[in-house]
Amino acid sequence: MPAFLSLADAIGRHVEDGMCVALEGFTHLIPFAAGHEIIRQGRKRLHLVRMTPDLIYDQMIGMGVADRLTFSWGGNPGVGSLHRLRDATERGWPNELAIFEHSHGEMAAAFAAGAAGLPHGLMKGPMDTDLPQHQEGRVASVVCPFTGQPLKAVRAVNPDVTILHAQKADRRGNVLIEGISGAVRDAAFAARAVLVTVEEIVDDLAAPMNALVLPHFVVTAISHVPGGAYPSYAQGCYGRDNSFYVGWDAVARERETFLAWMQEHCISKPDHRAHLESLGVLA
């Protein structure tokens, strides 16, 4: 049974400097509150893993918590660049960032293999791209032992910790995820520890029979953090703040405006509720 912890305790106990950490959720249910708490606690040298780094990794990378990034698409969706990610890769600010780049299909295969306890996932090709020149030790060609068909092997990804946001947990610690789920199920099963922030803790999940539920025995800790995905969203609770995503471009473009924003809205705030209050988005 998972522990029910404050977010500060969950991060404090389970996320250590130098760990491989995946905050997953594909556009939807991105665990922003947890990312902010990692920044507040000053973690360093993390190996961050996420298919789409999104604004949360832009913030974490810009605040110097990471020195490695595994990803497959690093932009501000529909807006443009992640300026902090670019500053780190192009100019090494605030520190050098090693990047381990994949396609979405490869990342999905790597998480799925990690979840299944396999050393690698398999994909069908061919894909004549320049990516493999930069994927040493992570992608290899193999031959199907039955058909002789050439296949691509992608090394499994097994994070030390996967962190997710979800709509609901029940009191035993089962977690219900509704809406776009991305690779969260595989990222959770692939990890050694799973931390989940939830909008709501309920007596009964009332989950439909085929719903996406993470059973309590794969979850390490649950924290009640309503609004924890903002400015991403939680289907059925609140929508994606697209104007925040658009506005982030100007905030993150320069180091000074970025640092000032992080100080004002994240570092100086004790928790996520205070963060949301400072942005004026609470009803």
Partner 1 sequence: MSTAYTRDEMMTVAAARQLKDGDVCFVGIGKPSAACVLASMIHAPGLVLIYESGTVGTRPRVLPLSIGDGELAETADVVVPLPEIFTHYLQGGRIDVGFLGAAQIDRFGNLNTTVVGPYEKPVTRLPGAGGAPEIITHARDIFVIMHQSKRGFVDALDFRTSAGHLGGGGERRRKGYPGKGPSVVVTDIGLLRPDPDSDELVLVALFEGRTAEEAQAATGWPLRVADKLEVIAAPTDEELSALRSLMARTDAAHKAPIRIKLKQVQG
Q: Does 3 bind partner 1 (CB under 8 A)?
A: no
Considering only 6, 68, 205, 235, the residue that binds partner 1 (CB under 8 A) is 235
Write each residue from 25 to 64 as x if it is in contact with partner 1 (CB under 8 A), else as -, in one continuous string: -xxx----------------------xx------------
Cα torsion angle, 233, 36, 113, 96, sign: positive
For the bound state, the minimum distance from the C-beta of residue 195 to partner 1, rounded and expressed in Å, comes to 18
Nearer to partner 1, 64 or 75 (CB): 75
**Residue of 139, 146, 145, 201 lying closest to 175 (CA atoms):** 201
Could you give the CA distance from residue 78 to residue 75 in angstroms, rounded to a whole number? Answer: 8
For the bound state, the minimum distance from the C-beta of residue 184 to partner 1, rounded and expressed in Å, comes to 8
DSSP 195: E
Q: Does 183 bind partner 1 (CB under 8 A)?
A: yes
Start-end of H helices in 22-81:
32-40, 54-62
Nearer to partner 1, 259 or 279 (CB): 279
Q: Does 129 bind partner 1 (CB under 8 A)?
A: yes
Cα torsion angle, 102, 104, 108, 113, sign: negative
Q: Does 85 bind partner 1 (CB under 8 A)?
A: yes
Start-end of H helices in 206-265:
242-253, 255-262
Q: Does 210 bind partner 1 (CB under 8 A)?
A: no
How many whole angstroms from its chain centre is CA 51? 8
Q: Does 186 bind partner 1 (CB under 8 A)?
A: yes
Which span sits near partner 1 by CB under 8 A: 56-64, 140-148, 189-197, 200-208?
Answer: 200-208
Q: How many CB atoms lie within 10 A of CB 250?
A: 11
